[in-house]
Chains A and B, each alone.
Chain A
Amino acid sequence: MVAPSRISFRSGPQVDMALLICSVAIATLGLVNLYSATSYYVESARKAGLADIYVSQVYWIVVGALLAILTAVIDYRHYERLAYLAYGGGIVLLLLVFVLARDIRGSVRWIPVGSFHFQPSEFMKILLILVLAKYLHNDPHVEPRRWVDLALPLGITALPVALVMAQPDLGTALIYVFTAATMLAMVRIRRRSLLSAVVLSSVSAPLAWTYLLKRYQKERITSFLDPEHDVTGTGWHALQSKTAIGNGGLSGCGFMQGTQNQFGFLPDQFSDFPFAVFAEDWGLLGCAILIALYCFLCVWAIHIASQAKDRFGAALAVGVGALTFWHVVANVGMASGILPVVGITLPLFSYGGSSVMSFMVCLGLLMNVSMRR
């Protein structure tokens, strides 16, 4: 038993330097940007007793990095066996939210653990990717699938979506749906089934509008479609964010010089709109670099998937890539006014322990797959 271990030590896990550098770069930019985003806020908020946001984000990133290393070290194929169990645990936590969570801004998402507010829906993203990857791994079909064949993964997705919608947290629910859909898109589906899905969704959309969406969620969508209609309410956020991005111009106002941010015109500038802060400070040139980094991360995830030695690893990599992709597209789209305002974070840029840690774990998973191809 000595020999194989030596062999595996020699030719075994190689750290994926591209992924590592890209991740570190994004995390660094995110931290620097958060410093700018909170520089105004802290000044007036210190009296209100709020913790120093920038410093705690450093803690989360460090803790997240440790978790990521831990995740990467253990062979990902061990996770496959635990996938259903972990998924079940995640569902339980989501249910616990309703019992334990406190109402923050009209929605219950966080379970208080000491001074930390734990957000199970963030970690559920990982578990959903894991469980869907396991399903895809074990799925024996070779011919194109019918809907009936996909009933199980759809059900697996629908359960957390329903729980998160009830919090209510439309943004996270949409992320679940889009990530799951991307993963399921890897298998072949019959044309007729796809067609019926289109018909079904166009029928159910108005029903969902009437019965599922909350009033404020509808307002966000209507104000996106007609931003001039309500410039003081919901539309205001989107408008100020667009102004901030445009104010950056080609080369930006300079670090901590963006007036939209510094004078307090960006709401939620460290959670929902860090991209606007970044774009105002660094301009189109800075944005191009950041967009390129995220783009590389997503493409690299697909590359890792294509190199993976089994379906589980491939599905896992695609899942992480999809999660990153939809987060970035939704957040930047919302900040630049091409998508309605829903609270979706920008990975490693937005402040938040659960968000940072869960995304770090995802990167760890990706590294894991990449190291063991």
Chain B
Amino acid sequence: MSIIMQRSDVGEFRRRYRWMVLFVMGSFFFIFGRLFILQVLQRDIHQAQARKNIVREIKLATRRGVIRDAQGKVLAASRPSYNVYVVPSQLNIEQTWPRVVQLMGLDLLEANRLRSRILELNKDERRREQQMLLAVNVDRDVVATLETHEAELPGVDVVSIPVRYFPFGELGAHLIGYMREVDVADLSDLESRGYRAGDRIGGVGIERRWESYLRGRRGWRKVLRAMRHMNDRDELEAKYLEEPRRVSPVPGRDISLTVDVELEQAIDRAMRGQLAGAVVVVDVRTGRILAAMSKPSFDPNAASGSGGIEASRDAFRRYYADPLKPMLDKTISAAYPPGSTFKPFTALAALEQGIIDPSTQADCRGGYEYGKRFFRCTGVHGHVNLHSAIVRSCNTYFYTIGAHENMQLDTLAKIGMSFGFGVKTGIGTNPEARGRIPTRSWYTRRYKGAFRGGFTLLAAIGQGATTVSVLQLALAYAALANAGTLYQPQVVRSIETSDGTIVQEFPPRVRRIISMDSHQLEWIKSALHGVVVEKEGTAHAESLLGVDMAGKTGTAQVTHVTPRGVDSDRVWYFNRDHAWFAGYAPHAAPEIAIVAMIEHGGGGGKNAVPVASRVVQEWQKLKERPITGKRGARDDDAEPREP
């Protein structure tokens, strides 16, 4: 019998049970439906995600192509740079740290700063496990020391990172280029081409223009995020990693240039004592660029960040603040008035028009009166003919041509255009200045219909609105030297695979054959020779003995403006004329054309001729040098792994 009395009815509950059972079954059915969605309908998504969780792709670094000069000398290559890291949680600050300081030769201030940083990071549970950068671009000796003592230094890691190295430093830096870090801004654009944040990309010059060839393709390897059973690793990897598990990196293409670095060095020596300017040497038979230098230059090693990001930022800050514009490639990215170096083209136009012949004379009394203006000459030359006018650079003679009724501005423009002025040469390394050959319609547009005859006079002596780039002028003189073939300029001779097989060679390309009367050309050329060899020649006094060349000096007047950021006591420099020499060598059978432009150098004869003359002399010597094997021994790096 029951001790506890039954006080109310069990029946009250009874009506609930059916609903409860329904609710329970419904809920579990709902849960089952959810599992069905996850495990059957969405299975592929989740399985892919689960696989992605455990597999990590390690990027395998590729080797960027080497850039070599015409003689096979390395102009740009990658070398390992060593960074030292510490993992705060693994570093014994009492025992290991003083040893690190001693072995790395850190100074006390730096050591104390780093020490407190390590201690600070050690407090952060997550960051104490991560590598902290101790020093960048560490000396090879220090690396060797650290590696010798590796066993004593738990928690200290030396990591090698490929860094672009330019053995010749500033020499030809504009042409060769440098490496810069990919901007966050262009990253969205570049990501489709496989660039990642922190990657480096060619900054200017060859490095930029031929980036897609030099770069190579990164490889990758799949690994497991192995958190357990390190000894089962092979077995687990076989199980969970799908083929292909590895794609090898493809090394970048090597590029051989037409440039001869020894000639560049010669130019560098010849330009000593000059602040700014540009020199270009081209092969008149091919249009290949043998040397191109722009001064002042920049250090591509610093710009590429070999000394760390801070150092490269400092370098750029300095370069951009410099009024001499070291980052500007003055051989092609800037245009200057050519001055008297343009006169041979004026003379050719006049001969072609029949305005003059070699016997035509003019009387130079220090200038030419045209309309109400007096156009000045460089001196009083007396009676001059075509030959002596070029040799002595008489402006009056060319004013007379310019003032002739049959000489129109557009006639001059036409010959200028046919020699490649006013259009880009298509070299493609750096942004090109087009230069300007003014036409009548250009003046009409520019000066609202007020064209004056005086403009033609100025154009005849290469002043006024006429501007050319140094490379344009060199190619035009090459066309004079080779009797009328205007070449497409070339800097890349061939592209090779990393083992030296030539992938592509670039034969010379002719842009245009300029039709000229050979007699008329001979008259001009003999006059250009006279400039150098005759006693009255403007280049005679300053050219070196035994240098066989022909050419024309130029002194281009500069519009008087003060560049921003220049002290008033330095303004005089920026108002000085540009000094030019444009020519070719040897005189009889020309092989090279050379243009030397000294920015704000003053008179062309006095300043540009010595430079050009020295370069030609060195070139003559280099021609004699024994032919060495094109390639030296290659230093092939082992496949570096990306940090």
Contacts and interface: CB of A to CB of B under 8 A. Distances in A.
A271 interface: no
Contacts of B46: 242-247
B564 interface: no
Interface in B1-41: 2-4, 6-10, 12-14, 16-17, 20-21, 24-25, 27-28, 31-32, 34-36, 38-40
A299 B24 contact: yes
Contacts of B634: none
B53 A260 contact: yes
B240 interface: yes
A273 to B, nearest CB: 14
A284 B36 contact: yes
Interface string A299-337: 100100110111110110010010001000100110011
A263 B24 contact: no
Given A250-B39, A250-B43, A263-B227, A291 B8 contact: no
A266 B100 CA distance: 40
Given A243-B53, A318-B20, A77 B12 contact: no
Given A139-B8, A265-B53, A185 B42 contact: no
Interface in B46-84: 46-47, 49-51, 53-54
Contact of A245 (B32, B35, B224): B35
Interface in A215-274: 240, 242-250, 259-260, 262-265
A244 B46 CA distance: 7
Contacts of B21: 299, 302
Contacts of B621: none
Given A329-B31, A336-B35, A310 B6 contact: yes
B509 interface: no
Nearest to B23: A325
A247 B24 contact: no
Interface in B229-256: 229, 240
B140 interface: no
Contacts of B40: 249-250, 284
B45 interface: yes
Contact of B10 (A279, A288, A311): A311
Interface in A9-53: 40, 43-44
B28 A244 contact: no
B54 A263 contact: yes
B90 to A, nearest CB: 16
Contacts of A248: 39
Chain A interface size, as a band, is: 35 or more
Contacts of B6: 310-311
A301 to B, nearest CB: 9
A244 B227 contact: no
B25 A295 contact: yes
B225 interface: yes
B10 A245 contact: no
B446 interface: no
Contacts of A244: 46, 50
B7 A325 contact: no
A110 interface: no
A240 B45 CA distance: 13
B193 interface: no
B373 interface: no
Given A77-B4, A302-B20, A287 B12 contact: no
A332 B38 contact: no
A186 B13 CA distance: 5
B35 A279 contact: yes
Nearest to A298: B24
Interface residues of B, number: 43
Interface in B95-143: none
A302 B17 contact: yes
Main secondary structure of the interface of B (DSSP, over half): helix
A311 B8 contact: yes
A260 B3 contact: no
B82 to A, nearest CB: 33
B460 to A, nearest CB: 73
Given A263-B225, A284-B36, A246 B24 contact: no
Given A246-B43, A259-B54, A288 B32 contact: yes
Contact of A259 (B17, B34, B50): B50
A249 B31 contact: no
A260 B4 CA distance: 54
B28 A294 contact: yes
- Chain B CB within 10 A, most for which of A240, A246, A248, A321: A246
Contact of B12 (A188, A243, A294): A188
B448 interface: no
B519 interface: no
Given A77-B3, A140-B7, A299-B21, A336 B34 contact: yes
A283 interface: yes
Contact of A314 (B13, B31, B36): B13
Given A44-B228, A310-B4, A314-B10, A284 B47 contact: no
A311 B9 CA distance: 7
A295 B228 contact: no
Contacts of A44: 227-228
A5 interface: no
Contacts of A321: 20, 24
A212 interface: no
Given A40-B228, A263-B54, A295 B17 contact: no
A199 interface: no
Contacts of B17: 302, 305-306
Contact of B51 (A259, A262, A336): A259
A142 B8 contact: yes
Contacts of B51: 259
A336 B25 CA distance: 18
A210 B469 CA distance: 74
A291 B28 contact: yes
Contacts of A100: none
A250 B49 CA distance: 17
A127 B250 CA distance: 71
Nearest to B41: A246
A295 B23 CA distance: 11
A283 B46 CA distance: 13
B56 to A, nearest CB: 11
Contact of B50 (A260, A306, A332, A338): A260
A117 interface: no
A138 interface: yes
A332 B28 CA distance: 10
B18 to A, nearest CB: 9
Contacts of A182: 20
Contacts of A138: 7-8
Contacts of B27: 325, 329
Contacts of B35: 245, 279, 284, 287, 291, 336
Nearest to B50: A247
Contacts of A92: none
A298 B27 CA distance: 11
Contacts of B25: 295, 299
Interface of A: 40, 43-44, 77, 80, 137-142, 182, 185-188, 240, 242-250, 259-260, 262-265, 279, 283-284, 287-288, 291-292, 294-295, 298-299, 302, 305-306, 308-312, 314-315, 318, 321, 325, 329, 332-333, 336-338
Question: Closest 5 A-B residue pairs measured CB to CB?
Answer: A246-B46, A247-B50, A284-B39, A295-B28, A246-B38
Given A44-B227, A250-B43, 19 more contacts: A77-B2, A140-B8, A186-B13, A244-B46, A246-B42, A246-B46, A246-B50, A247-B47, A249-B47, A260-B50, A263-B53, A263-B225, A287-B35, A291-B31, A298-B24, A302-B20, A306-B14, A325-B24, A332-B31
27 contacts: A77-B2, A137-B7, A137-B8, A139-B8, A142-B12, A246-B38, A246-B43, A249-B40, A250-B40, A259-B51, A259-B240, A263-B53, A263-B54, A263-B228, A279-B39, A284-B35, A284-B36, A288-B32, A291-B35, A306-B13, A308-B10, A309-B10, A310-B10, A329-B28, A329-B31, A336-B34, A338-B31
